[in-house]
């Protein structure tokens, strides 16, 4: 939690930097990214966050997500964290950005300007157990059903942006 991350304005422009934990305590708007990797069968690679993460531990989410460090380009950070979390890398395309704010039961606040990336890879992940408790590939129809039946099993940001990711993915494929 020593990394400084990028404070942004509501249009996503960098306006400063802040310690990552301080951003989540104060609710300061900051830059983030979410990576969605599909395999050639059209299944989405999900990760289950490590149980001891500072928030959302044990919940299922997109393939990888994090924050660029101060001075780091967001696409570079997405590749770095995909390697650090999932032990893999692939070509990534930025799809869109969105902002969201979510307060967690432990008092932490996500207030993020999130850049969403997509990739396609059949590389088998080798997850870092400090970051990832589990992973699975899932057909998108089953995923949507699971989200309707058990939304509490998934992270807040994943539920917000999944529909738009799937819409774009289906247009591309």
pLDDT tens sequence across 17-37: 999 999 999 999 999 999 999
Is residue 172 packed enough to be buried (19+ CB in 10 Å), middle (13-18) or exposed (0-12)? exposed
Alpha-carbon torsion, ordered 21, 23, 26, 32, to 10 deg: -120
Could you give the number of structural domains in the chain? 1
- Bridge pairing between strands 4-8 and 93-103: unpaired
Name the average pLDDT for the chain: 95
CATH of residue 55's domain is 3.90.79.10
Is residue 2 very low, low, confident or very high in pLDDT (cuts 50, 70, 90)? low
Q: Reply yes or no on whether the pLDDT at 1 is more than 60.
A: no
Q: In sequence order, what are the residues at sequence separation of 6 or more whose Cβ sits closer than 8 angstroms to the Cβ of residue 13?
A: none
pLDDT tens sequence across 71-112: 999 999 999 999 999 999 999 999 999 999 999 989 999 999
Task: Please state the pTM of the whole predicted model.
Answer: 0.94
Domain that holds residue 109: 4-172
Q: Is 112 a catalytic residue?
A: yes
Q: Is 65 a catalytic residue?
A: yes
Q: Catalytic: which of 65, 85, 110, 161?
A: 65
pLDDT tens sequence across 46-67: 999 999 988 888 999 999 999 9
| Contact indicator for 41, 125 with CB cutoff of 8 Å | no
The pLDDT of residue 53: 87
pLDDT tens sequence across 137-160: 999 999 999 999 999 999 999 999
Q: Catalytic: which of 64, 85, 112, 161?
A: 112
- Whole-number percent of the chain with pLDDT over 70: 99
- Bridge pairing between strands 109-120 and 64-66: unpaired
């Amino acid at each position: 939690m020593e990394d400084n991350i990028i404070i942004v304005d509501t249009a996503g422009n960098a306006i400063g930097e802040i310690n990552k934990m301080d951003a989540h305590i104060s609710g300061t708007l900051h830059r983030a990214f979410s990576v969605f990797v599909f395999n050639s069968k059209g299944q989405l690679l999900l990760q289950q966050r490590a149980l001891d993460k500072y928030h959302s531990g044990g919940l299922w989410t997109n393939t990888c997500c994090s924050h660029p460090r101060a001075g780091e380009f967001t696409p570079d950070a997405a590749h770095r964290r995909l390697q650090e979390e999932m032990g893999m890398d692939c070509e990534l395309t930025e799809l869109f950005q969105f902002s969201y704010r979510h307060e967690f039961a432990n008092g932490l606040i996500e207030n993020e300007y999130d850049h969403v990336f997509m990739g396609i890879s059949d590389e088998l992940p080798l997850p870092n157990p400090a970051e990832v408790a589990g992973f699975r590939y899932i057909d998108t129809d089953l995923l949507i059903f699971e989200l309707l039946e058990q939304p509490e099993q998934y992270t807040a940001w994943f539920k917000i942006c999944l529909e738009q990711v799937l819409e774009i993915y289906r247009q591309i494929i």
